[in-house]
Amino acid sequence: MLLDLFKYGFSLETLIGVLASIFVIFCTLPIHEFAHAYVATKLGDPTPRLSGRLTLNPLAHIEPIGALMLLLFGFGFAKPVNVNFRNFKNRKRGMALTAAAGPAANLIMAFLFLILMIIFTILYSRIGTIVLKVSFWFFKYAATINIYLAVFNLLPVPPLDGSRIFNIILPDRLYYKLMQYERYIVWAVFALLIFGWLDIPLTFISSKLYDLLFKIAYLPFKAFLG
């Protein structure tokens, strides 16, 4: 996002992309983390609540490095929510549901933003003001970033949410072995992102998911518009 300003120069579209990224950092990343905290709390773990993470306050969730990465590359992260799996009745199931809550929240938000994007597209086609055009691009970028975040977080590698979901089918011994190397794996993932080696698969999956959500979001408008 922010790199686009240096690559392609200043334009209204790239500026809106940066503003949408800032919006995601302060508004939707906190919802992602709150979803983790909420589900964990509902499943019997008070750790997120006791550590102050059962809140939508962005200051409780923002991680500076993760926020910078989102601004620069479109992929980032917030401060992980601490969870004590020993408090779950079913440890694997509890961890998987808690982990899945974050990406699910991103997809729900992306769907809502796509609906808003469609509404502003229809209004722009009829009225054609710059405000409606800016609103269209803003929600398009917001939806796209949220889909990218969901796909990225679903990668089955620690410490991403996908690894906690993938844990359901992994033997405990193998899972804990992987977790021992979490620190090294996360830096390897960051390196792959920085050098662009994950761009093709992540972009491909994200674009397919975007198309699917867009088609679903557009259905009621298609019926209404004839």
> CB neighbours of 60 closer than 8 A, spacing ≥ 6?
30, 33, 52, 53, 79
CA distance 193 to 187: 10
DSSP 202: H
**Half-sphere exposure (Cβ direction) of 10: Cα atoms closer than 13 Å:** 0
Whole-number CA gyration radius for the chain: 19
> Is residue 217 within a helix (H) or strand (E), and if so which, with residue range?
helix 199-225
- From the list 13, 33, 63, 182, the catalytic residue is 33
What is the identity of the amino acid at 202?
Answer: L
- What does the DSSP assignment read for 60-82? GT--HHHHHHHHHHS----PPPP
CA distance 146 to 180: 29
Q: Is residue 63 annotated as a catalytic residue, yes or no?
A: no
Catalytic residues, which ones? 33
